[in-house]
Amino acid sequence: MYFLSLIRFPNLLMIIFTQVLVKYFLFEPFGIDTVLDDLSFSLLVLSMICLAAAGNIINDLHDTAADKINKPQKLLIGTKISEKAAWNWFIALNIIGVGIGFYLINLVGKPSFVALFIIPSAFLYFYATQIKGTILVGNLVVSIMVAMIIVMVGIFDLVPAITPENLTTQKVIFSILIDYAIFAFLVNFLREIVKDQEDITGDYNAGYKTLPVLLGRSRTNFIIFVLGLLPLMGVLYYLYTYLYENRAAMLYVLLTVIGPLLYFQVKITVAGHKKDFHHLSLVLKLILAAGIFSIGLYRFVLI
């Protein structure tokens, strides 16, 4: 049980959920040409969750000082799990994730794709050990990794199947993935800053130079509000351009994405306590999940 908490098991389930939606609810209903069979796709998902789990472990390994203040009740390393065991799991999961990646790049005949497994592994390590406490850089790295979870399915399953005959169709579907990746990046970027707001006390004592530590909570709230306009305007544009004639899809987006985003924008202007930011972090997590879930609705919108 402690190990599942260490690797953030619910977050790993979200990775599985997201990639399954892309493969079986976006690609297959439209008859898109792909190269991964069920087993190969399962290996891609396994590789992603191994690398993500390793990233979560290394983050906890190098965040114990701040966690003792921010969330002492959730501190695992040094209390429930030894530091040596955590390092062993980190190394093992990285080896499994990158090893599966080497198999997959040979399977799809794209040797250059190996960087897509090595770079995330290296980025997550340097995020936790070098740049986590650097203003905005750590937030950007984590958010890029979240966006890549969506794009990776397209890169490995869709791109190698492109031919002159299907190029137009493949590009349309891949552009949808890019749109979702941008949405995931923006919402997660907001959430990372909100989490910095929540953890300001521990981060300050740990010497992290996060945005709230350097600017204070009030100025950071204003920045979050301005950044929050980006996904809100993006979703409104998408709704008007692509979903306006589909009442059910429009209602879903209004209720589960736009409505909560407006709620977030209002609440962030008055948030000032740890519990406020914890609540808003959860709101953003639900918005991200609802947005990702809408991938499964395309078969009903476009078919």
DSSP state of 80: T
Q: How many separate domains does the chain show?
A: 1
Pick from 64-78, 134-148, 271-285 the range whose average pLDDT is largest.
271-285
Give the HSE-up count for residue 180: Cα atoms under 13 Å, Cβ half-sphere. Answer: 29
- Residue 111 pLDDT: 82
Residue 98: domain span: 2-302
| 3-state secondary structure at position 105 | helix
d(CA 53, CA 11): 9
- 114, 101 Cβ separation under 8 angstroms: yes
Does the predicted TM-score (pTM) go above 0.85? yes
Provide CB contacts within 8 A for 177, sequence distance 6+. Answer: 22, 26, 150, 151, 153, 154
13 pLDDT more than 70: yes
d(CA 207, CA 87): 23
| 3-state secondary structure at position 68 | helix
- Residue 138 pLDDT: 76
Position with higher pLDDT, 130 vs 37: 37
Q: What is the pLDDT of residues 54-73, one digit of tens each?
A: 888 887 777 776 667 777 77
d(CA 214, CA 52): 29
